[in-house]
Amino acid sequence: MAGSSQSLISSIIQPGQKIEFQSVRTEEGELLNGEKRVYKSAVFDVISEDSIEIMMPTEGTKMILLPVGRTYAMVFFVGKNLYSCDAEVVDRYKRENAVLLVMKIISNLRRFQRREYYRLSCSLTMNSRNLEEEEIRAFEENKSILIPELPLKQGVILDISGGGLRFLATQAYEVGSLIYCTYVLNSKTLNKEYNLVGEVLESREMPEKPGVYEHRVRFTNIKESERDEIIRYIFDEERKIRRKEMGEDRK
């Protein structure tokens, strides 16, 4: 970790803070170890500038004994802010009647908005294209001018949040470029087409699928009302998924 981020650990991460964590994704986009569940825990103590103790997660009354050597993407709930990093389980033991995991932080701490955190895995059709120079100039002047009927490339959204989305397409985009994205969200309470501009934060060709690219995009012109709609859609879909898993779905 960079020294500037190391200095943040003890000043930001404190005992008692809530944590959620999940297996990190591999370069191919798969969840490491195949673990899909999100674990919940709390910080027990800060050992050093790159190591912390956390409570062993539980599910109901059952303790989940996570093995040493696994790596997780962690989110810390710090007041009204969220911080994320990757961390590896390097030890586990019992102390002061608590079963603890020692987590070694192996990436920089990153602060982000709560609205970025709620993300839904999905498979939704979308279309996208690069912005034209005229559109970019208008966008830089805080104007909303989108040229209609320009050709679009089809893609598939892999996950979506109130802050952006991740999608696959045969179109390659440059990191830092602005693109136009259009897609429809459809649920019991929502049926709406979204036409948004996003900045490409990450783009890579899929190793196992030459000519197919995975893009991560941050919305740059989204209205708060649209963001709220997307977040409500995510919550509604997650509730529907949970009901199905519990055999309680009533359509």
Query: Is the model's pLDDT at 118 over the cut of 80?
Result: no
> What CATH number is given to the structural domain containing 41?
2.30.110.10
Q: Is the pTM of this model over 0.85?
A: no
pLDDT band per the 50, 70, 90 thresholds, residue 174: very high
Q: What does the mean pLDDT of the chain come to?
A: 84
The parent domain of residue 217 ranges over: 116-243
Query: Is the model's pLDDT at 7 over the cut of 50?
Result: no
**Among the three residues 112, 134, 161, which one is the final residue of a domain in this structure?**
112
Whether 130 and 239 share a structural domain: yes
> Is residue 71 domain-resident?
yes
Comparing 126-130, 137-141, 180-184, 215-219, the range with the smallest average pLDDT is: 137-141
**Among the three residues 80, 112, 144, which one is the final residue of a domain in this structure?**
112
Choose among 133, 153, 155, 154: nearest CA to 145.
Answer: 133
Average pLDDT rounded to a whole number, residues 34-40: 68
Whether 105 and 145 share a structural domain: no
Whether 28 and 94 share a structural domain: yes
Average pLDDT rounded to a whole number, residues 140-165: 88
pLDDT one-digit tens code per residue, 222-236: 888 898 888 888 878
pLDDT band per the 50, 70, 90 thresholds, residue 22: confident
Whether 26 and 54 share a structural domain: yes
Which residues are paired to 200 by β-bridges? 217
Distance CA 217, CA 202 (A): 7
Whether 79 and 160 share a structural domain: no
> Is residue 251 domain-resident?
no
Whether 98 and 185 share a structural domain: no
- 191-209 exposure pattern, b = at least 16 Cβ within 10 A, e = fewer: eeebebbbebeebeeeeee
**Among the three residues 74, 96, 112, which one is the final residue of a domain in this structure?**
112
Query: Is the model's pLDDT at 219 over the cut of 60?
Result: yes
pLDDT score, position 117: 62
Distance CA 205, CA 245 (A): 33
pLDDT score, position 113: 62
> Is residue 58 domain-resident?
yes
> What CATH number is given to the structural domain containing 153?
2.40.10.220
What total number of domains does the chain contain? 2
**Checking phi first, is residue 44 left (phi over 0); if not, alpha (psi -120 to 50) or beta?**
alpha
Whether 125 and 212 share a structural domain: yes
Whether 25 and 106 share a structural domain: yes
Average pLDDT rounded to a whole number, residues 46-68: 89
pLDDT score, position 232: 82
Q: What is the DSSP letter of 33?
A: G
pLDDT score, position 81: 78
Whether 40 and 158 share a structural domain: no
pLDDT score, position 9: 85
> Is residue 199 domain-resident?
yes
pLDDT one-digit tens code per residue, 180-207: 999 999 988 889 999 999 999 999 999 8
Whether 177 and 98 share a structural domain: no
Whether 75 and 127 share a structural domain: no
> Is residue 227 domain-resident?
yes
Whether 154 and 107 share a structural domain: no
